[in-house]
Amino acid sequence: MLQDKIKQYTEEIEQFSPASAADVENFRLKFLVSKGIIKSLFEEFKTVPNEEKKGMGKALNEFKQLAESKFENAQLEFTQASDAPKRQEGDLTLPGEGFQLGSRHPLSLVRKEIVEIFKKLGFIVSEGPEIEDDWHNFSALNFPPEHPARDMQDTFFIKKQDGNDIALRTHTSSVQVRMMEAGRPPFRAIMPGRVYRNEAISARAHCFFHQVEGLYVDENVSFADLKQTLFHFVQELYGEGTRVRFRPSYFPFTEPSAEMDISCTICKGNGCNLCKGSGWVEILGCGMVDPNVLENCNIDSKKYSGFAFGMGIERITNLKYEIKDLRLFSENDSRFLSQFETEMI
């Protein structure tokens, strides 16, 4: 009878105590597979008289649950045992294995070098938030409402707050504004940090990169002060004899403005692919702080003047280490980073 079989198999399951994973597998093959005992009992259940089916069905379901529970517990026991760490055999008195030291990221190396050079010239380091409002990122820096940099193609806008656009900063010039708003001249500081632009990622461009911007505001600051400061910086970073030239340019927050080129560090000015045969490579933009920017920060532009400059750390690093693909800086490839182990500082 079906009831007797259920009772018999129940006692067998309750007494089951596997000694190995093979025992567990044999249990599964005997009871749980499609041609196993449980399946055959359910087939036999179809012949039970209708008046007995309710009680017999309950007993059969309880038996099935018992078998499945027994199998799962036994399987878990042997799985955990196989995952347990095995005892290591060996001579514990032997010296331990050495571990490989990491290296500083090339961007960190160059940023530190830039900061150290300007510190010698009396510049302090100032930092600010990466999420900025429209005033600090654009308006205070003399960006008119129709300026292309406000377009969604260039800027990662996040939301509006109290009628003000909130965005990921597009430059660290916003830190200059915060510094001028919070204090009184003289100011002499550099602002290193990460910035964001809504651009397609390629070997020559990325949606985020790193800048170092500088600001010097005091009485009687001239363009000659700017040129001499940057000339000294280039000689310290790239070596004595590196030539420098300034080309007129335009930036909303400086007037007059210029872009600064250096003689190509790869071909030494003779012409190559990096400098496109010209012998010159642009490394930064600069200029005299626009009087409107000073007035926006409540600084008397008739009494004070100043200069500002900004450079991409990736561009400086490319020239210093001859790296041709910007994407390498953010891929965390150990083969790339290991090349800078000797540069640790």
pLDDT at 108: 92
The position carrying tokens 């069905």 is 57
Pairing of strands 187-196, 124-125: parallel
Range among 22-31, 48-57, 212-221 with highest mean pLDDT value? 212-221
pLDDT at 91: 74
Whether the pLDDT of residue 5 is over 70: the answer is: yes
3-state secondary structure of 273: coil
Confidence of residue 287 (pLDDT cuts 50, 70, 90): very high
pLDDT at 115: 95
DSSP for 126-160, please give it: ----SEEEHHHHTGGGT--TT-GGGSTTT--EEEE
Range among 29-38, 125-134, 273-282 with highest mean pLDDT value? 125-134
Q: How far apart are CA 288 and CA 75, in angstroms?
A: 75
Q: H or E element: which one contains 314?
A: helix 313-321
More confident residue, 249 or 271: 249
- The DSSP symbol for 309 reads E
Cα separation values, 257 from 72, 201, 226, 227, 285, Å: 75, 28, 11, 12, 8
CB 214 within 8 A of CB 189: yes
Portion of the chain with pLDDT greater than 90, in percent:
42
3-state secondary structure of 172: coil
Work out the mean pLDDT of the chain and round it to a whole number. Answer: 86
Whether the pLDDT of residue 235 is over 90: the answer is: yes
CB 194 within 8 A of CB 208: yes
Portion of the chain with pLDDT greater than 70, in percent:
92
Total-model pTM: 0.66
Q: How far apart are CA 309 and CA 182, in angstroms?
A: 20
Model confidence pLDDT, tens digit, residues 164-181: 788 999 999 999 999 999
Model confidence pLDDT, tens digit, residues 25-44: 888 888 888 888 888 888 88
Phi, psi of 47 (to 5 degrees): -90, -5
End-to-end CA distance of the chain: 84
Where do the domains of the chain lie, and which CATH numbers do they carry? 2-81 (no CATH), 106-343 (3.30.930.10)
Closest by CA to 207, choosing from 217, 192, 193, 196, is: 196
Phi, psi of 144 (to 5 degrees): -70, 160
DSSP bridge partners of 125? 190
Model confidence pLDDT, tens digit, residues 255-265: 999 999 998 87
pLDDT at 114: 95
CB 165 within 8 A of CB 157: yes
The position carrying tokens 């008195």 is 93
